């Protein structure tokens, strides 16, 4: 005789199996992206094992000697470790503080803007820079901020002001990096908040207008509480990249004069793991894995705190 709990389990399994058979077309359609993700996102994780080995191309991943946490110790004991982490954290935190609230403010402004024509024009204007590639973006900044032929320095020359080496001054690098990124990504980042604001019940605004509430009070007491769960989720996702800075843009903006503030984890991994005369793949992989683990811990911590304070989170 089958036990009651086992009978319930078998019955539930049979019901679920029948549902899958009835919707087999949808599950077959879902199979292709799952296979794609498995092949290109999960199978490559096997290569992470070289972070714990002294990888040799001739010996391969399996036959390379195991060294455990040796490469992690090399990175933590590296004289450049604190400078690299400091540069990475400053750029990341600066980007988060400057770039996170601006898409929210932009979305609120576009939503309450009178006139559909002006609204669409401003939304298109702010969204367009997102389609510029990183190379084009850096080239544009070089044309604007170049020492000899940059537009800004030419304007300064009209007033007999000496040219400023914007691209070479270490104290200017972080501002150029962050605010150019804000300009490029603000429009795209506002789209998700505009979508969330479009779901706010118009009757709430109508009732507030009847009660004499100003637009600022409506934003403060209706719009922001409505999109607060979305803001929380986006903030948690942003915490995962707190120790990650975009490699392409940082590398393209780097030069010998600003290297003291522009050397971050990604560019250091490239230098020691790929572009060196004798690339150290194991060391570079260990640094990348260290960065990913820190990012994962930050996401888990932010989600835990958010759950405790506001009952909103990723899961």
- Backbone phi, then psi, for 66, in 5-degree steps? -80, 130
Q: Mean of the pLDDT values across residues 20-39?
A: 88
Residue 99 vs residue 12, higher pLDDT: 99
> In sequence order, what DSSP letters do the residues of 271-296 get, joined into one string?
HHHTSSSS--HHHHHHHHHHHHHHHH
Q: Mean of the pLDDT values across residues 48-75?
A: 87
| CA–CA separation, 198 and 230 (whole Å) | 13
- Domain residue spans in the chain? 84-132+170-310
pLDDT by residue (tens digit) across 216-233?
Answer: 999 988 999 888 888 888
| CA–CA separation, 128 and 91 (whole Å) | 24
> How would residue 315 be classed by pLDDT, with cut points 50, 70 and 90?
low
Average pLDDT of the chain is: 86
Beta carbons of 232 and 248 less than 8 angstroms apart: no
pLDDT above 60 for 155: yes
Q: Mean of the pLDDT values across residues 138-149?
A: 85
pLDDT above 70 for 290: yes
Q: Mean of the pLDDT values across residues 52-59?
A: 86
> How would residue 15 be classed by pLDDT, with cut points 50, 70 and 90?
confident
Q: What is the pLDDT of residue 82?
A: 92
> How would residue 312 be classed by pLDDT, with cut points 50, 70 and 90?
low
Beta carbons of 177 and 250 less than 8 angstroms apart: yes
- Total-model pTM: 0.81
Return the number of other C-beta atoms located less than 10 Å from residue 126's C-beta.
Answer: 23
Q: What is the pLDDT of residue 1?
A: 46
| CA–CA separation, 121 and 12 (whole Å) | 54
Comparing 175-179, 262-266, 302-306, the range with the smallest average pLDDT is 302-306
Helix, strand, coil percentages (3-state) for the chain, rounded to 5, are 75, 0, 25
The domain made up of 84-132+170-310 has a fold known as: MetI-like fold (1.10.3720)
pLDDT by residue (tens digit) across 174-218?
Answer: 999 999 999 999 988 898 899 888 888 888 888 988 888 888 999
Q: What is the pLDDT of residue 3?
A: 66
């Amino acid at each position: 005789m089958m036990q009651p709990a086992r009978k319930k389990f078998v019955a539930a399994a049979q019901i679920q199996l029948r549902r899958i058979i009835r919707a087999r077309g949808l599950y077959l359609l879902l199979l292709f992206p799952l296979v794609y993700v498995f092949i290109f996102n999960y199978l490559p994780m096997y290569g992470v094992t070289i972070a714990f080995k002294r990888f040799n191309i001739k010996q391969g991943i399996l036959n390379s000697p195991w060294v455990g946490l040796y490469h992690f110790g090399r990175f933590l004991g590296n004289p450049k470790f604190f400078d690299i982490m400091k540069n990475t954290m400053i750029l990341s935190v600066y980007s988060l503080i400057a770039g996170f609230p601006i898409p929210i403010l932009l979305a609120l402004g576009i939503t309450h803007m009178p006139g559909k024509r002006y609204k669409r024009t401003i939304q298109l204007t702010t969204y367009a820079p997102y389609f510029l590639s990183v190379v084009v973006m850096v080239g544009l900044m070089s044309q604007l901020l170049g020492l000899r032929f940059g537009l800004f320095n030419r304007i300064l020359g009209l007033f007999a002001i000496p040219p400023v080496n914007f691209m070479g001054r270490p104290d200017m690098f972080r501002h150029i990096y962050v605010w150019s990124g804000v300009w490029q990504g603000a429009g795209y980042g506002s789209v998700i908040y505009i979508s969330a604001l479009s779901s706010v019940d118009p009757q709430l605004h109508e009732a507030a207008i009847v009660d004499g509430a100003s637009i600022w009070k409506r934003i403060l007491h209706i719009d922001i509480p409505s999109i607060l769960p979305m803001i929380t989720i986006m903030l948690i996702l942003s915490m995962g990249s707190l120790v990650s800075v975009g490699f392409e843009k940082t590398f393209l903006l780097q030069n010998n004069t600003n290297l003291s503030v522009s050397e971050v984890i990604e560019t250091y991994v490239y230098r020691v793991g790929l572009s060196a005369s004798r690339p150290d793949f194991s060391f570079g992989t260990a640094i990348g894995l260290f960065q990913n683990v820190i990012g994962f811990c930050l996401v888990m911590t932010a989600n835990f705190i958010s759950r405790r304070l506001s009952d909103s989170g990723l899961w």
